[in-house]
Structure formats: C-alpha cells, structure tokens
Amino acid sequence: MSGATSAAFADAFFAAPQVAAALCDDAALRQMCVYEGALARAEGEVGAIPPQAAASIAAALNEFALPVGAAREKLFTDAAKAGTLAIPFVKLLTAAVRARDPEAARYVHYGSTSQDVIDTALVLQLAEALVTIEADLARLCAAAAHLAKAHRDTLMLGRTLLQPAIPITFGLKAAQWLAAGLEARGFIAGAKAAALVPQCGGAAGTLGSLGDKGIDVARRIGTYLPGLHAPRALLPWQTRRGALVALCAAIGIAAGVCGKIARDVSLMMQFEVAEAFEPIEEGRGGSSALPHKRNPVRSMQILACAAQIGPLVGQMLAGLPQEHERALGAWQAEWPVVPQIFKLASGALANAAALLEGLTVDAARMRSNLEALKGLPFAEAFSVALAPKLGRDEAHELVEAASRKVPDSGKTLAELLAADPRVGRHVTLQELAAIGDPHRALGATGAFIDEVLGLWDVVA
C-alpha cells in the first residue's frame, strides 16, 4: 500500500496522535477488558455471580495480555466470521480465567451480550479521545480570544460573497471564531452527557439472564467505568442511537468551526491579500517545485478533515432506523465511522489551535487593502447621506455612477462626488471624508467583541 493511502499516513495526516491511539484496535480490546471487569465486579457485589468468581475474573484481567502477531490476526479473522469482535475476545478471556479458576470461567461475560461490550468499549474510547479534543477546542477558543482582544480596533476590509464590503475589525473576525468555538463546546458538553453511558442490556435489552439482579448490575456497572456518565435512564440503547449520533454531530460541528477558520486564514494568506499568515515552522508549508512558496498547510489539513466529516455524520443519521432489539447492518456500519469522525475532528482541532496560537497578523496590510479601494466601501454611506438632499433614487444613481469611475480616475469616491455640482452645493469634500471615515462604519463592532470576550471570561 502506498504511503499516501496507508492507515499510518492517514492517522499522521488527519488525526491527533493521542486520539488515534485512543481509537486503535488495541485500545478497543483494552476497553473491552475494562467492561468485563466492571461487569464481573458489579455482578459479584449484588450476588448475580459468586464473589470468588468475580475476584478470579478480575485477577485474570489484570494479567491478560492482548494477542500479538499471528494470534492477533486470528482474533480479527475469527471476529469477521462471527460478525463481532466480542465472540472471539470472550473466548480468549474465558480461556485465561479457566487457567486460573475453572469454576469462575462459567461466569465470564455472564448475562451480557456482544453489543454490551462493543458499545461500552466504544464510549470508553470516545471518553478518552474527548479529553484531547476538548483540550484543543479550549486552546482554539483561548487563541481566538487573544486575537479578538489584541485586534479589537484593527481595521480591515469586510468581505461578502468574496467581494469588498464595509470595514470591520480583525478583532470582530476573531470574535466570530471564538463565538463559534464556544457554541461547539456547548454542543459537545450536552451531547457527551447523554452519549457516554454504559450499554448493559443482555440478549434483547432485558437483562433477563440476571433475573431480579439485572437492574442492580446495570446501576452499579457504570460506577466502575472511568469517564462515563450516569445515564438518565438505565434502559439499554441498543437500537436507540440518537445520543451517539448527536455526539458525532457535535464533533462534526467543531470540525466545521475549524474549517471556517482555515478558510478565512488561507484566503487572507494569499499573496495578493497578505493580511494574515500561518506560523512559520521548520519543514511545514514548503513546495517540492517552488522554493519561494509558503503554503497554508495547516489550513489545508483542517479543510481536508472537515470535508470528510459531513458525509460521515450523514451516515450516522442514515443509520438511525434500526430493526427491533438489535440492528442488522446499521449498527455494524457505525464501527468504522464513529472513530473516523473523532479522528478527523481531532486533527482539525489540533491544527486549528496551533494555527491561531501562532497566527501572524499584518495590521498595516489590512489598512492598506482597505484604503486601496479609495472609498468604495463607503458607497452606501454616501448614498444614505445624500438621499435627504437629492432624493433616494438620484443619490443612489449618482453614487453608483461615481463608483464606476473610481478604478480609472486615480481619485477617491469622495473626491469624485465632491466634484459633481449636484453634490457640491450640498456637501463639502471634508464632510464627505468624514462620512467615509472607516471608524464610523463599525457600528456595534466593539460591543459585539466585548460581549463574546465576556462569555469566554466566564468559562475560561
């Protein structure tokens, strides 16, 4: 397999290392062990299995070594045949327990089912991955807040539909990034509280094999699973996947926030614009053919991650209609998709945080690009100011005609308007220049920035 398509390259290019590690195959097996240990402990405490059996299972798990080499390959081959990794895994674990305590082997995975261990291991992995994801999202917000504060009054050209609009400040753009990051944090916090809960339902969601002990086992098991939340209801969620899908969607939104930032920065980094630049880093952003280039590689990686997540979240949504008490295909289709969503989002967030932390802002170039338009961004303001004197339609037509002359005239829009007798009899050049003061166009900009910074101060 070529380096450009290998799994190792994909993880290095698209994922934060800690998240890739939390979501690898070995991590899944380790978390399956965590589930089985919690299950045995809970069952032993409520008398669903003999306490000695629970102790033997725990001891075997402490010494359990994940298979390597040929044994590992056989595990995954057997899993493909069985339709789930849980079946060959439980066989391995049972053999390990039997070697220590033959009687206890009868109680491995007792009353549970494949989906319990697979789903619970998954959310344990996601809980671990979220530590890094949320930390990088906090870094992104902190960096955006710093930029918003530092550039609260840094004038630049606002752009709509990729064309010049009216002046804004770079602080306002950064405040929008911060607000989007804060929204994403809220979405993730709410979604993870509902999604990161154990799955404990047994064969068909009744824990029927545990009799009257089932509800006590379900209630206790979560207390031994690090990073998980107490469910709002103990009811198993085998084919009720909304909470997991909502978490994937929240993660997708966070990646989309990163994509918006990357899009803005890469556009500002174009040579012809040159208003902001990714940090200079050894070995990053060069060209194999053009030595002079400074490529926006972090932005490229972010956008590549964000572009893939939308369809993956769509797949999760498409899988919500699941059959009866266990899905035939829809649940299994989640297995590669959920880790990929989290890995891609982690790569986007890690790169976006680093990008904003090291962003170089050229305030002088921002002002120069604004001034190069010779007052055109104030055409609306001039039209509004002249309307009471000339009438709305005539003022609009006059300003529109003057605006077309600006590029070839060498004069500002204010100068062209002042030279027109219809305008000159009502407004002086000095008055027009005051109307074209970019600070007058900022409106509520400062208040907006301060409000978002205040929100950040509350949660930071």
How sure is the predictor about 4, in pLDDT bands with cuts at 50, 70 and 90?
low
Q: 193-208: string of b/e by CB count within 10 Å (b at 16+)? A: ebbbbbbbbbbebebe
Q: Model confidence over 68-115: pLDDT tens digits?
A: 999 999 999 999 999 999 999 999 999 999 999 999 999 999 999 999
Q: Is the pLDDT of residue 390 over 60?
A: yes
Which residues, 6+ apart, have CB-to-CB distance to 21 below 8 Å?
27
Q: Model confidence over 347-360: pLDDT tens digits?
A: 999 999 999 999 99
The structural domain count of the chain equals: 2
Residue 49's φ and ψ, nearest 5 degrees, are -135, 160
Q: Model confidence over 190-199: pLDDT tens digits?
A: 999 999 999 9
Residues 362 and 402 in one domain: no
What is residue 9's predicted lDDT score, i.e. its pLDDT?
87
DSSP, collapsed to helix, strand or coil, labels residue 39 as helix
Residues 345 and 308 in one domain: yes
What is residue 280's predicted lDDT score, i.e. its pLDDT?
82
Residues 140 and 254 in one domain: yes
Domain end call among 367, 394, 410: 367
AA identity, residue 222:
G
What is residue 10's predicted lDDT score, i.e. its pLDDT?
87
What is residue 232's predicted lDDT score, i.e. its pLDDT?
82
Range of the domain at 389: 376-435
Residues 304 and 344 in one domain: yes
Residues 142 and 194 in one domain: yes
Is 241 one of the annotated active-site residues of the chain? no
Residues 280 and 427 in one domain: no
CATH number, domain with residue 202: 1.20.200.10
| CA atoms of 176 and 306, how far apart (whole Å) | 18
Residues 335 and 381 in one domain: no
Residues 246 and 168 in one domain: yes
153 falls within a domain: yes
What is residue 3's predicted lDDT score, i.e. its pLDDT?
52
Residues 359 and 380 in one domain: no
Residues 149 and 252 in one domain: yes
pTM above 0.85, yes or no: yes
Tokens read off for 142 = 């902190």
6, 240, 287, 422: the active-site residue: 287
326, 365, 367, 409: the active-site residue: 326
Is 41 one of the annotated active-site residues of the chain? no
Q: Is the pLDDT of residue 293 over 70?
A: no
Residues 220 and 173 in one domain: yes
> In the chain, pLDDT over 70 holds for what percent of residues?
96
55 falls within a domain: no
